[in-house]
Chains A and B, each alone.
Chain A
């Protein structure tokens, strides 16, 4: 499997990343080298091996349903670029 520059452009779009044509070419090359490595893995016969859901052996880590104090609002908003009426201000993006 090989990816085209067009596919790299689409993935970049989904990740909201902007690249120049030269960068897209370079990335396509790098992606393809990575995919070649994965192609090697594909040679392994995995019949009967369940897909890995997690690399750790640990399962079932839960917390009890208990409320603890939240951040003070001023702190919650502390990293915001802009704040209004106790809310984060974001660019207007209508769905």
Chain B
């Protein structure tokens, strides 16, 4: 029997506010354990939470970018459970009145993936289990109280590929909005997946499992693919899928049962009496809507239309808002978009890859790249010299003019002096000249190489080619 997968995602993104959601502790990642805590986020008795206005604003930004309806009335609720990562024994979250509802994100295929809701909540602390097998856990509450948004999709995704594309697109949007850095490796973007199978074409949904511990885009695709295969095998054998939470084991590339539905928690949600409701007026929401940046998809379309870039280029360049801005900044001083795009996708990507540099950390002056590209177009630098200058500019921040002067990297485009070198080379290699004149035109490459050697690689290759052809023609009997 053929099965169709039904997939929904629950995505958590840490908001990049300076302070926590209910107290003034810093949210910086990687601080020493328990140095960013206070009585509020430690859950000490008698303390009161006060909502960070930025967390609300950021959630609304996400909601607007994902075509959601923004609630005019919203509240915060307590989700109760006992686990040491939660000092209050409840998490402040949102239950029945989330800030955003009923949105969608469109995949490249045009398929719309529904966004059921987006709400704000506090992150929990971090546990380190039994570091040396001592039978206890170490708890760090720095992360407790860091603001999160939880984005819940409708079960509209049908394949692991769609799920990965959705998450990548979502990540791009959140980064563009400037509300989260979305680093999966640091846990600032986390994703759980719900998945069930049904016979192809069937209406009723099958029993779902929830997949946790997905730590990368690759892991998301693999965990879903694994789970589809596992569930399909069970169903094909006439067995049933158990409703349960399963953990993705990266090392073993498989999912493993964590807990079954029978152990499912009853979170006993109720409105948090310590926090008053949030009422949003339309002017406030409209002001946020007006402040949204151009989003990745719109930017991509514009790059294609405005600069006649191929879709492939536009997609890569809009992979980061910073990179797209860089590209457009280069074009302020340089007028060939495709050449700039090629150079960025080739040279810049290569160097960023070597340095492990994120686009956001790129410090290169776009005017410098424009300068180099212009010099190449004008024949002042060969392409390979241009690349050399670019690498120096990338690594040192020096201007192309300084680098060219310091390295003596000028392309010889002076016809008279280059013609002298060409005639000297021809005189020194009579055999090659003979071969050429007898139809072995391939030796032109060797002769070009000789000219390059004489000029220490600084001759304009196009000019060499022309001069060689002219001088060789003169030698033809």
Majority-rule SS of A interface residues:
loop
**Bound complex: CA of A84 vs CA of B128, how far in Å?**
11
A74-95 to B contact mask, C-beta < 8 Å, 1/0: 0011010010111111111111
How far, in Å, is B15 (CB) from chain A's closest CB?
10
Residues of chain B in range 338-365 having any CB-CB distance to chain A below 8 Å? none
Q: How far is the CA of A86 from the CA of B141 in the complex (A)?
A: 11
Question: Which of A55, A66, A70 has the most CB atoms of chain B within a 10 A radius of its CB?
Answer: A70
Q: How far is the CA of A53 from the CA of B76 in the complex (A)?
A: 9
Any A CB within 8 A of the CB of B466: no
**B82 and A66 form a contact (CB under 8 A):** no
A61 near B51: Cβ-Cβ < 8 Å: yes
- CB B319 to nearest CB in A, in angstroms, measures 28
Contact partners of A84 in chain B: CB under 8 A? 138
Q: Does B80 have its Cβ within 8 Å of any Cβ on chain A? A: yes
A59: chain B residues within 8 A (beta carbon): 276-279
Q: Is the CB of B24 within 8 A of A87?
A: no
Bound Cα distance A1, B39 (Å) = 40
Q: Does B140 lie within 8 Å of A63, measured CB to CB?
A: no
**Is the beta-carbon distance between A87 and B128 smaller than 8 angstroms?**
yes
Count: A-B pairs, CB below 8 Å: 127
| B266 adjacent to chain A (CB < 8 Å) | yes
Chain A: number of interface residues, binned into ranges: 35 or more
For the complex, is A22 an interface residue (Cβ under 8 Å from B)? no
A76 touching B278 in the complex, CB below 8 Å, given contacts A66-B19, A70-B26, A90-B137: no
Please name the residue on chain A nearest to B272 by beta carbon.
A54
Find out whether the CB atom of B138 lies under 8 angstroms from the CB atom of A54: no
Q: Which 10 A-B pairs have the closest CB atoms?
A: A68-B24, A87-B138, A62-B53, A90-B84, A65-B54, A88-B139, A53-B75, A63-B50, A86-B33, A53-B277
* Chain A interface (Cβ < 8 Å from any Cβ of B): 14, 16, 53-56, 58-68, 70-71, 73, 76-77, 79, 82, 84-95
A-B contact pairs, 23 of them (CB 8 A): A53-B97, A54-B276, A61-B50, A62-B50, A62-B51, A63-B52, A64-B54, A66-B18, A67-B18, A70-B26, A70-B35, A70-B36, A70-B37, A71-B42, A73-B32, A73-B34, A76-B37, A86-B140, A88-B84, A88-B139, A89-B139, A93-B84, A93-B137
